[in-house]
């Protein structure tokens, strides 16, 4: 088995009452050039999930603010709900308060929840744009959460010191043992049939399966060893309805899916055929893609769909339209209830795992790709011709390729997609995100 490395990047959640600048801070941290690894427009709800990197330490950033809905009179209960969820799932919490308004009753309520949490909490006093406001920030000591950081989400001042502290508090990197089994995470929106799928595979009702969305209690690994396949199946428990929390299940599914996806090799994205490929399915799919995980889409409850001649073709076409441009993804139509194609789903996941750990020799890569590139070279830019002379696969856990050119700065995204498509056509990276870089030769 190929050595496989897992980096537990950690989850940082931004919490606080409405209108203190949580989303502005989120956007600021994601857009900083030295912090940015990736940002995803539209993932979760309105761009409230990002992959960030600060001084070489990668982490997931989640803004809980976008999930507060409804009128002013229910803000307080919504905020409590989001904070409890964030405390439950995040590794580190950033508590944003507003220096202009000072300490409010709702701030004190949030602080009370945070003081009870056994998680690192950093108080970010926002809108500190001058020395006067710096002095006013002292009152936030009253929240009983220790030191605070004065920041301005608008211009970014103070955010560096805050991030230094946040990164130091994140859990340590963990490296997988070389012989550890692959991890296949079963992810999806509430009630799509994740636990039913695992029960059907292992042949016993190991998990509670009901018609109530979100009944799985914890993320549980099941070692699976049948038909020559051996790996760990992870029921994400994505969407458990906690006894104390009447939460927004959609939000909770994202919080849980982030962690499960980060720790997986291949993600089996289960969707409900009777509902189609909806917004939350798309969100979870892109979480997996941006984390560079293998992906298989499982269309469950296919036995409940009325079939016509082209039903599968039309359904598949709709899904591929939604996941453009990463359309080289296997889609398996199955039923956990009747066990139709459930073993096909596992065979496909194993194939994707093997594709993800595939290594192509430099000579084979050059012999295949350079003639294709010579036949269709990059477009000339500013009267200059771009020449690609050499390529190699990088020594990374997931497939990444470097193409060396005389003028890499003139190669645009359409040509990058062309090269990626040629790699896929010739080397079978079905279900696997791949990265293509152009570098100075």
According to DSSP, the residues that pair with 188 across neighbouring strands are: 270
- Is residue 191 a known part of a binding site? yes
Residue 192, annotated as binding a ligand: yes
129 is known to lie in a ligand binding site: yes
Identify the CA nearest to 230 among candidates 187, 169, 181, 283: 181
Best CA proximity match to 23, nearest among 54, 62, 81, 52: 62
Is 63 annotated as a binding-site member?
Answer: yes
Contact 68, 148 (CB under 8 A): no
**For residue 148, how many C-alpha atoms fall within 13 Å in the half-sphere facing its CB?**
25
The answer on whether 300 is annotated among ligand-binding residues is yes
**Residue 20 marked ligand-binding:** yes
60 assigned ligand-binding residue: no
- Contact in structure between 191 and 272 (CB atoms under 8 Å): yes
The one-character DSSP state at 297 is E
Residue 271, C-beta contacts closer than 8 angstroms, at least 6 positions apart: 188, 189, 192, 277, 278, 281, 297, 298, 299, 300
Does residue 283 have a known ligand-binding role?
no
Q: Read off the DSSP letter of residue 65.
A: G
Other CB atoms within a 10 A radius of the CB of residue 309 amount to 7
Look at the alpha carbons of 186, 264, 297, 223 in this order and tell me if their dihedral is positive or negative.
negative
Q: Report the alpha-carbon distance of residue 278 to residue 288 in Å, rounded.
A: 16
Residue 239 annotated as lining a ligand binding site: yes
179 is known to lie in a ligand binding site? no
To the question of whether residue 127 is assigned a binding role by annotation, the answer is: yes
Tell me whether residue 190 is annotated as binding: yes
User: Does 292 carry a binding-site annotation?
Assistant: no
Q: Is the dihedral of CA 313, 319, 321, 327 positive or negative?
A: negative
Residue 238 is labelled as binding a ligand: yes
Q: How far apart are CA 436 and CA 303, in angstroms?
A: 40
Q: Are 117 and 93 in contact (CB under 8 A)?
A: yes
> Does 64 count as an annotated binding residue?
yes
| 301 annotated as a binding-site residue | yes
Q: For residues 294 and 109, what is the distance between their CA atoms, to the nearest angstrom? A: 41
Classify the C-alpha dihedral 170-176-181-182 as positive or negative. positive
What order do you get walking across the sheet with 435-440 strand by strand? 388-393, 400-405, 435-440
Query: Is 232 labelled as part of a ligand binding site?
Result: no
Question: For helices 249-262 and 279-290, what crossing angle results, to 10°?
Answer: 20
Helix (H, G, I), strand (E, B) or coil at 73: helix
Nearest to 356 by CA among 333, 325, 321, 329: 329
Q: Is 336 known as a binding-site position?
A: no
Strand partners, 431: none
Is residue 214 marked as binding? no
The verdict on whether residue 246 carries a ligand-binding annotation is no
Q: Which residues are 332's β-sheet partners?
A: 298
For residue 327, give the nearest of 424, 229, 439 by alpha carbon.
Answer: 424
Residue numbers in the known binding site are 16-23, 63-67, 126-129, 188-195, 235-239, 300-303
Residue numbering of the annotated binding site for GTP: 16-23, 63-67, 126-129, 188-195, 235-239, 300-303
């Amino acid at each position: 088995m190929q050595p496989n490395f897992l980096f537990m990047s950690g989850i940082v959640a931004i919490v606080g009452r409405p209108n203190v600048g949580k989303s502005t801070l989120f956007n600021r941290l994601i857009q900083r050039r030295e912090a940015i690894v990736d940002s995803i427009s539209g993932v979760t709800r309105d761009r409230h999930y990002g992959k960030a990197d600060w001084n070489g330490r990668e982490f997931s950033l989640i803004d809980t603010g976008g999930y507060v809905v409804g009128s002013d009179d229910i803000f307080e209960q919504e905020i409590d709900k989001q904070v409890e969820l964030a405390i439950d799932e995040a590794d580190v919490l950033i508590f944003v308060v507003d220096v202009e308004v000072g300490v409010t009753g709702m701030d004190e309520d949030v602080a009370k929840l945070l003081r009870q949490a056994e998680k690192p909490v950093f108080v970010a006093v926002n809108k500190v744009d001058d020395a006067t406001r710096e002095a006013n920030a002292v009152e936030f000591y009253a929240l009983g959460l220790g030191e605070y950081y004065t920041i301005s989400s608008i211009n970014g001042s103070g955010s560096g010191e805050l991030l230094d502290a946040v990164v130091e508090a994140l859990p340590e990197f963990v490296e997988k043992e070389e012989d550890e089994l692959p991890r296949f995470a079963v992810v999806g929106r509430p009630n799509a049939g994740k636990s039913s799928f695992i029960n059907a595979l292992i042949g016993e009702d190991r998990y509670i399966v009901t018609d109530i969305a979100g009944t799985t209690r914890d993320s549980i690994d099941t070692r699976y060893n049948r038909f020559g396949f051996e790996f760990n199946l992870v029921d994400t428990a994505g969407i458990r309805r906690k006894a104390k929390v009447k939460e927004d299940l959609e939000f909770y599914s994202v919080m849980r899916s982030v962690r499960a996806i980060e720790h997986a090799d291949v993600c089996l994205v289960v969707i409900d055929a009777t509902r189609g490929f909806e917004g939350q399915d798309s969100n979870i799919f892109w979480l997996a893609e941006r984390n560079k995980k293998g992906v298989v889409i499982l269309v469950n409850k296919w036995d409940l769909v009325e079939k016509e001649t082209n039903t599968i073709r039309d359904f598949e076409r709709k899904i591929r339209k939604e996941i453009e441009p990463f359309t080289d993804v296997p889609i398996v139509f199955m039923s956990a209830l009747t066990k139709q194609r459930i073993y096909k789903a596992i065979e496909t996941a194993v194939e994707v795992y093997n594709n993800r750990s595939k290594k192509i020799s430099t000579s084979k890569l050059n012999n295949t790709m350079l003639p294709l590139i010579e036949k269709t070279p990059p477009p000339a830019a500013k009267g200059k011709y771009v020449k690609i002379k050499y390529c190699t696969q990088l020594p990374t856990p997931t497939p990444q390729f470097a193409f060396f050119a005389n003028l890499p700065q003139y190669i645009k995204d359409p040509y990058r997609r062309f090269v990626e498509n040629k790699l896929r056509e010739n080397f079978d990276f079905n279900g696997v995100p791949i990265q293509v870089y152009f570098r100075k030769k």
